[in-house]
Amino acid sequence: MANARDAIGIDVGGGNLKLVYARRAGDSMKVAFAESLPMTDPTGAVLEGRTVAALVADSLRRNGVNPAAVITAVDRSAATVRRLSLPPAPDDELERMIQYEAESHVPFPLDSAEMAHTHLPPEDGLARIVVAACPRQTVAARRAPLEEAGASVTEVAVSTVATYNCLLRTDAQAPSGTHLLVDIGAETTEVAVIANGELASSLTLAQGGQSLTLAFARDHNTGSDEAERRKAEGAIELDTASGLPSDPELFSTTAWFQKLVGGLSRSIEAHNAGHEDAPVGSIVLLGGGSALPGLSGALSGALDLPIRYADPLAALGYSPAEGSAVYSPAMATAAGLAMQGVGLAELELDLTPKEILAQRRAKARRGVGQIAGIAFAAALILATLWQGWQWMGARNEYRAELEDLRQAQTSLRGMTLHPAEVLALESIVTTAASPENDPLDLMELLADELPLEVSIRDVSFRRNDSLEMRGTALSNAAVADAVMALKRSGRFASVELTHSTATEVEGATFYSFAIECGLPGGDAS
């Protein structure tokens, strides 16, 4: 889970590149700049010199930023997002169930896809899971130009999920009731339902701003540039009862609106049929295509629902410069990505390739291992200077050195040391100083075996018998990973999760746990 000091969300759209750079500010974030940079002409042809890599590199250089987190997204049309309800089960068994169910719900082979999942609060005795998957090649293609621009991608989300995360924090009505999000982009329209603050469903319609321009150009036998200009000036008059063009001679344009209105109507009907107690009550317009004059009145009349425009930048206290091309309803996805980067996403799904995550984990472990090695050296000093003021002086020097390490660590990108890890190191130094314990094993355990999402609070070591680790984790899955990592290490006769309890702290869920590891030849084995 990202929790960087600052982050940039990069939304690669069909026509424009949207960037939102922000810093964490308590329970919200402060937007430093937002940009919308054109990449294509009205037909979708890439403009000379306006590649994703070139635009991103130029933006970072012009704005003088080097963000700790860079979050981008694959399009919802290329990915799948599903909610699963599963019977309660131990973590390892639940993981197998998720994998099995995903194979039935994901419309492409999982062995050629990147997949991520996250847990929702249980309901009616069932575990609830949100699964996202996307073809591996699509994820790689989205990452590649950003890496080329020098923006090392830290997470890959799904566009609709990022938009949902943004609306949940920036639209006062979104956390309650049921709302249809309609994000009209250049190539497609992404549709999602938010019901009582949760992402209930999502899909993609083929209608986008570029295809509307081409349809209007065909109807008037004119060029795409002229059609785009006239479209923006309000040349497409829409009937507020049907949502269709008032001119019946605009055959291609009328067909475009028929498909859009029909797709939205079916989405509303499908949700209402399964949720009679929570029908769709409003529509939220987003995306660059939502700027079409008369669109909100036409859709409101055709669908018989109130409509409002999303304005995420205003909700975050940011005002685009006068004359800027930034259109706030089109920036929701980029803002949601930045939120994920600074740890404010309600629903976080990361499609970063597993091998890259493993490399990062190994790098971070090396960093923790270096700190553990220094802590071990400090423990030896403490053991030799146990008496009098010398011991006190050595301990204070160690604590000062550990504080310096903590400050240095927090300045490294992607390697922030969790406060619980500092507490764990201090506890381990105290344990290691006791002659009946073996500090080397404890240091090696912390540095090499445990997942980064796990924080050890206390270690009890019984020579030739067992050791017990107690701590907290960000998820049950992280606890399960810790147990599996310890089992795979081959250093213990047995590894058993003896305790795991979910705890709410200021709206966030943490899991306290205890793991007992039997030593070879000990009674615990």
Instruction: Tell me the average pLDDT across 51-63.
Output: 93
Strands of the 494-505 sheet, one edge to the other: 454-462, 466-473, 508-518, 494-505
What pLDDT shows up at residue 482? Answer: 81
What pLDDT shows up at residue 245? Answer: 95
Q: What's the longest Cα–Cα distance across the chain?
A: 96
More confident residue, 177 or 408: 177
Class in CATH terms, 177-309:
alpha beta
What pLDDT shows up at residue 398? Answer: 53
Q: Is the pLDDT of residue 416 over 50?
A: no
Give 462's strand partners.
466
Instruction: Tell me the average pLDDT across 289-316.
Output: 96
- Helical (H) or strand (E) element with 490: none
pLDDT digits (tens, 9 = 90+) for 118-137: 999 999 889 999 999 999 99
More confident residue, 345 or 411: 345
What pLDDT shows up at residue 412? Answer: 43
Q: Which CATH number fits domain 449-525: 3.40.50.10190, 3.40.50.300, 3.90.1150.10, 3.30.70.2830?
A: 3.30.70.2830
**Rounded to an integer, what distance in angstroms lies between the CA atom of residue 348 and that of residue 453?**
14
What pLDDT shows up at residue 370? Answer: 59
Kindly report which listed range (356-365, 470-479, 508-517) carries the lowest average pLDDT score: 356-365
Token representation of residue 464:
């030739």
What pLDDT shows up at residue 262? Answer: 95
Residues of the chain with CATH 3.30.420.40: 177-309
pLDDT band at 523 (very low <50, low <70, confident <90, very high): low
Question: Do 91 and 99 touch, CB atoms closer than 8 A?
Answer: no
Calculate the alpha carbon distances from 512 to 89, 421, 426, 475 in Å. Answer: 18, 14, 19, 10
Using DSSP bridges, classify how beta strands 28-38 and 113-123 pair: parallel, antiparallel or unpaired: unpaired
Token representation of residue 277:
């107690």
Residue 369, judged by CB atoms within 10 A of its CB (0-12, 13-18, 19+), counts as middle
More confident residue, 2 or 146: 146
What pLDDT shows up at residue 336? Answer: 97
Kindly report which listed range (227-231, 313-317, 417-421) carries the lowest average pLDDT score: 417-421
pTM of the model: 0.70
Q: Is the pLDDT of residue 6 over 70?
A: yes
- Residue partners of 12: CB distance under 8 A and separation at least 6: 52, 72, 73, 142, 145
Residue 185's SS3 state is coil
Instruction: Tell me the average pLDDT across 490-515.
Output: 80
Residues of the chain with CATH 3.30.420.380: 1-171+311-349
What pLDDT shows up at residue 525? Answer: 42
Q: Is the pLDDT of residue 235 over 70?
A: yes
pLDDT band at 102 (very low <50, low <70, confident <90, very high): confident
Question: Do 320 and 331 touch, CB atoms closer than 8 A?
Answer: no
Residue 16, judged by CB atoms within 10 A of its CB (0-12, 13-18, 19+), counts as buried
Q: Is the pLDDT of residue 403 over 80?
A: no
* DSSP-derived secondary structure for 160-183: HHHHHHHHHHH-TTTTSSEEEEEE
Calculate the alpha carbon distances from 168 to 204, 275, 456 in Å. Answer: 20, 20, 33
More confident residue, 263 or 26: 263
What pLDDT shows up at residue 413? Answer: 40
What pLDDT shows up at residue 105? Answer: 83
The mean pLDDT of the chain is: 83
Token representation of residue 373:
């090695």
Q: Is the pLDDT of residue 228 over 50?
A: yes
pLDDT digits (tens, 9 = 90+) for 147-196: 999 999 999 999 999 999 999 999 999 999 999 999 999 999 999 999 99
**Rounded to an integer, what distance in angstroms lies between the CA atom of residue 154 and that of residue 143?**
10
What pLDDT shows up at residue 43? Answer: 79
Kindly report which listed range (46-50, 172-176, 249-253, 260-264) carries the lowest average pLDDT score: 46-50
Q: Which CATH number fits domain 1-171+311-349: 3.40.50.970, 3.30.420.40, 3.30.420.380, 3.40.1190.20?
A: 3.30.420.380
Kindly report which listed range (118-132, 229-243, 313-327, 398-412) carries the lowest average pLDDT score: 398-412
**Rounded to an integer, what distance in angstroms lies between the CA atom of residue 155 and that of residue 72?**
7
**Rounded to an integer, what distance in angstroms lies between the CA atom of residue 416 and that of residue 156?**
20
Share of the chain above pLDDT 70, in %: 80
Residues of the chain with CATH 3.30.70.2830: 449-525
More confident residue, 235 or 49: 235
pLDDT digits (tens, 9 = 90+) for 66-87: 999 999 999 999 999 999 999 9
What pLDDT shows up at residue 71? Answer: 96
Burial 126-149 (b: 16+ CB within 10 A, else e): ebbbbbbbbbbebbeebbebbeeb
**Angle, nearest 10°, between helix axes 251-274 and 295-303?**
50
pLDDT band at 464 (very low <50, low <70, confident <90, very high): low
pLDDT band at 508 (very low <50, low <70, confident <90, very high): confident
- Residue partners of 347: CB distance under 8 A and separation at least 6: 118, 130, 161, 164, 165, 199
Residue with tokens 């890890």: 421
**Rounded to an integer, what distance in angstroms lies between the CA atom of residue 358 and that of residue 365?**
10
Token representation of residue 52:
């994703």
**Alpha-helical regions (H) of 108-208:** 136-148, 159-170
Q: Is the pLDDT of residue 1 over 70?
A: no
